[in-house]
């Protein structure tokens, strides 16, 4: 859905465990090291625990993927078994045949025979059991008995138990003390800290082919606080944020959308993850009232209350400050002429057609819907940003304005100091920007000239490389170099441009970098600023009434 919108080649916040997306924080690296050590030649059991969503299954899969070719591995993912069902499931996982109505002894014998055959071939056998906190004590004891088969050097069956913290409590039961003594490696994964959450978000966004800094710093801090550092909750909030931003046509992530997505996700989570309610304080007046009914004890309480009034009032004032005085409400009203014009300017496609005309192009139906393809000279796209971003873009745009009871579309044609010129139904109006901006929520449509049709990187040649060299020299105010080869000098220019635009710096002119270059290319483009406002007859200067 939002994959192409943000330039991802796959979804960055899928909750399906994927070892490619294993974020090796310090804790996760430790976990893998401990488990590999514990599952060495002499080990029998290893234990990996952690809260729900901390990445236990992903770490376990990464450990499995790092095993040697001489290790045969089987996995049980839903171990709500009886003893007989456990043995049958293990046989099924390792493709061991057994009679249809096999007894416990027959299942054990077949499994033991398989383990001896594997050892004779120089292979070791590992069984991974996920969600192991659901195993009953008698089933856990049966697992211990299976590991009794051993040589003088090692156990023939190694078991990795993966589960929630309750598993550690289960293993402390008296009847499981023998199993607990056979665990040669234990590791409990803790949630990520704030810095690790920041790195985790950047890692997943970049691994999916997107901008690692798509989420601004305040948004990352918010996610770190409200997700409690749980990777699965971070994924859910990140995915919900991207969906919300996509639905609103935004290309940039805003803190408001992150907060909304967080509320949507966390409202369905366990109460252990909910933010604590503010503690209530008892005011001194309430203490006095209580003291009246306490007889002799009330005298002592009164003394305490008097002391509280003098020494504790500052704490109360800080905990329960008086609300600020209400601010006066200032209502912005558009001039009557422009307000009347906007009530009829509800056709977005008509406004985009006018925007194309400013570039000297007649828009097709596909153009007005912003359905781009690489063969089109002019590209169109919806954005969500702020006033500073539009001024930096310095091209006419279509603004979406929210009026009482309707939505209108106007072309922002020129900006000169505090005054703007907008085109509404083919007529131009001048107005102070401060009267227009309260009706604009940040959504706009822009068009620009499309120059490049392929990713350009070091070693490539062609006329588009010449054009890239020329355009970057103009944008960066550097000498123009006539070269058709993407050399180290051009790579340095690309990196300078990416750093200037706060993009991922890799020296490769990919889709996002080339699109940004296209949008900023000053050649043969109408501009918003540095031009005098024209005074044609059909333009009306407006003052706020």
Report pLDDT for 310.
43
CB 416: neighbour CB atoms within 10 A? 15
Across residues 394-422, what is the average pLDDT?
A: 89
Report pLDDT for 324.
52
Q: What average pLDDT does the chain have? A: 80
- d(Cα 435, Cα 541) in Å, to the nearest integer? 13
Report pLDDT for 277.
46
Alpha carbon of residue 473 to chain centroid? 35
Q: How confident is the model at residue 531 (pLDDT cuts 50, 70, 90)?
A: very low
Render 53-102 in DSSP notation, one character per residue: TSSHHHHHHHHHHTS-TTEEEEEES-----HHHHHHHHHHHTT----TT-
- d(Cα 256, Cα 81) in Å, to the nearest integer? 46
> What three-state secondary structure class fits 395?
coil
- Residue found under tokens 């355009």: 471
- d(Cα 380, Cα 364) in Å, to the nearest integer? 12
> What three-state secondary structure class fits 126?
strand
Strand 45-50 versus strand 157-163 pairing type: parallel
pLDDT tens digit sequence for 378-397: 778 888 888 888 888 888 99
What is the set of domains in the chain, with CATH numbers? 26-189 (3.40.50.300), 192-268 (1.10.8), 336-449 (3.90.70.10), 460-520 (1.10.101.10)
Query: Residue 19: phi, psi to the nearest 5?
Result: -65, -20
Q: Which long-range contacts does 537-541 make (Cβ < 8 Å, 24+ apart)?
A: 538/427, 538/428, 539/421, 539/427, 539/428, 539/429, 539/430, 540/337, 540/427, 540/428, 540/429, 540/430, 541/430
**What residues contact residue 95 under an 8 Å CB cut-off, 6+ apart?**
none
Are the CB atoms for 497 and 517 separated by under 8 Å? yes
The beta-strand segments (E) located in 245-362 are none
Residues 18-38 as b/e (b if ≥16 CB within 10 A, e otherwise) read eeebbbebebbeebbebbeeb
pLDDT tens digit sequence for 20-63: 787 878 878 888 888 887 777 666 888 999 888 888 888 888 88
Residues 419-449 as b/e (b if ≥16 CB within 10 A, e otherwise) read ebbbbbeeebbbbebebbeebbebbbbbbbb
Eight-class DSSP state of 158: E
pLDDT tens digit sequence for 116-137: 999 889 888 999 999 999 888 8
Q: How confident is the model at residue 113 (pLDDT cuts 50, 70, 90)?
A: very high
- d(Cα 473, Cα 197) in Å, to the nearest integer? 38
- d(Cα 55, Cα 45) in Å, to the nearest integer? 20
Report pLDDT for 82.
87
CB burial of residue 68 (10 Å; 0-12, 13-18, 19+): exposed
Query: Is the predicted pLDDT of residue 496 greater than 50, yes or no?
Result: yes
Report pLDDT for 160.
92
Are the CB atoms for 172 and 117 separated by under 8 Å? no
- d(Cα 529, Cα 417) in Å, to the nearest integer? 9
Question: CA distances (Å), 53 to each of 57, 135, 194, 227, 236, in order?
Answer: 9, 19, 16, 10, 11
- d(Cα 218, Cα 241) in Å, to the nearest integer? 14
The phi-psi region of residue 34 (left if phi > 0; otherwise alpha if psi is between -120 and 50; otherwise beta) is alpha
pLDDT tens digit sequence for 59-94: 888 888 888 888 889 999 877 778 888 899 999 999
Query: Is the predicted pLDDT of residue 226 greater than 50, yes or no?
Result: yes
- d(Cα 116, Cα 312) in Å, to the nearest integer? 75
Report pLDDT for 334.
67
Query: Is the predicted pLDDT of residue 159 greater than 70, yes or no?
Result: yes
Across residues 480-486, what is the average pLDDT?
A: 86
Query: Is the predicted pLDDT of residue 325 greater than 70, yes or no?
Result: no
Q: Calculate the CA dihedral of residues 37, 40, 45, 51 and round it to 10 degrees.
A: 30
Report pLDDT for 202.
93
The widest CA-to-CA distance across the chain, in whole angstroms, is 101
Q: How confident is the model at residue 98 (pLDDT cuts 50, 70, 90)?
A: very high
Report pLDDT for 295.
52
Rounded to 5 degrees, what angle do the CA atoms 24, 26, 29 make?
55
pLDDT tens digit sequence for 228-278: 889 999 999 999 999 999 888 888 899 999 999 999 888 877 665 555 544
Rounded to 5 degrees, what angle do the CA atoms 90, 95, 97 make?
90
Q: How confident is the model at residue 96 (pLDDT cuts 50, 70, 90)?
A: very high
Report pLDDT for 306.
47
Question: CA distances (Å), 177 to each of 34, 172, 329, in order?
Answer: 21, 7, 70
* Residue of 87 and 515 predicted with greater confidence: 87
């Amino acid at each position: 859905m939002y994959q192409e919108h943000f330039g991802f080649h796959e979804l960055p916040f899928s909750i399906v465990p994927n070892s490619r997306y294993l974020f090796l924080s310090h804790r996760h690296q430790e976990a893998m090291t401990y488990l590999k050590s514990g599952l060495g030649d002499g080990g029998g059991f290893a234990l990996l625990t952690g809260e729900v969503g901390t990445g236990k299954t992903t770490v376990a899969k990464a450990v499995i993927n790092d095993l040697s070719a001489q290790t045969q591995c089987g996995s049980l993912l839903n171990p709500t078994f009886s003893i007989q069902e456990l043995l049958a499931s293990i046989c099924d996982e390792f493709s061991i045949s057994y009679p249809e109505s096999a007894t416990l002894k027959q299942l054990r014998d077949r499994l033991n025979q398989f383990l001896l055959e594997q050892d004779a071939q120089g292979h070791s056998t590992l069984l991974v059991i996920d969600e192991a906190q659901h195993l009953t004590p008698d089933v856990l004891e049966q697992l211990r008995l299976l590991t009794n088969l051993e040589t003088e050097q090692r156990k023939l069956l190694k078991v990795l138990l993966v589960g929630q913290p309750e598993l550690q409590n289960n293993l402390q039961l008296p009847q499981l003390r023998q199993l607990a003594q056979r665990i040669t490696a234990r590791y409990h994964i803790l949630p990520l800290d704030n810095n690790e959450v920041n790195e985790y978000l950047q890692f997943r966004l970049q691994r999916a082919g997107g901008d690692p800094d798509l989420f601004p710093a305040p948004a990352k801090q918010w996610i770190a606080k409200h997700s409690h550092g749980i990777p699965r909750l971070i994924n859910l909030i990140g995915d919900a944020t991207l969906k919300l931003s996509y639905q609103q046509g935004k290309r940039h992530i805003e803190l408001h959308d992150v907060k909304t997505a967080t509320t949507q996700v966390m409202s369905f989570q366990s109460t252990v993850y909910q933010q604590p309610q503010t503690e209530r304080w008892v005011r001194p007046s309430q203490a006095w009232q209580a003291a009246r009914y306490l007889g002799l004890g009330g005298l002592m309480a009164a003394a305490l209350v008097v002391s509280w009034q003098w020494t504790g009032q500052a704490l109360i004032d800080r905990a329960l400050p008086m609300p600020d005085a209400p601010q006066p409400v200032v209502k912005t009203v558009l001039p009557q002429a422009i307000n009347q014009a906007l009530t009829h300017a509800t056709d977005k496609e008509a406004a985009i057609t006018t925007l194309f005309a400013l570039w000297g192009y007649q828009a097709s139906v596909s153009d007005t819907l912003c359905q781009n393809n690489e063969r089109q000279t002019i590209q169109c796209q919806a954005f969500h940003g702020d006033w500073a971003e539009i001024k930096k873009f310095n091209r006419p745009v279509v603004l979406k304005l929210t009026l009482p009871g309707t939505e209108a579309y106007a072309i922002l044609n020129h900006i000169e100091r505090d005054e703007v010129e907008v085109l509404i139904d083919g007529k131009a109006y001048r107005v102070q920007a401060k009267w227009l901006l309260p009706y604009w929520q940040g959504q706009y449509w822009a068009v620009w000239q499309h120059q490049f049709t392929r990713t350009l990187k070091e070693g490539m040649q062609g006329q588009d490389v010449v054009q890239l060299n020329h355009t970057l020299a103009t944008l960066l105010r550097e000498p123009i170099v006539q070269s058709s080869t993407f050399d180290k000098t051009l790579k340095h220019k690309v990196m300078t441009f990416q750093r200037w635009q706060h993009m991922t710096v890799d020296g490769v002119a990919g889709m996002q970098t080339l699109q940004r270059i296209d949008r900023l290319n000053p050649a043969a483009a109408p501009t918003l600023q540095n031009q005098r406002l024209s005074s044609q007859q059909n333009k009306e200067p407006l003052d706020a009434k």
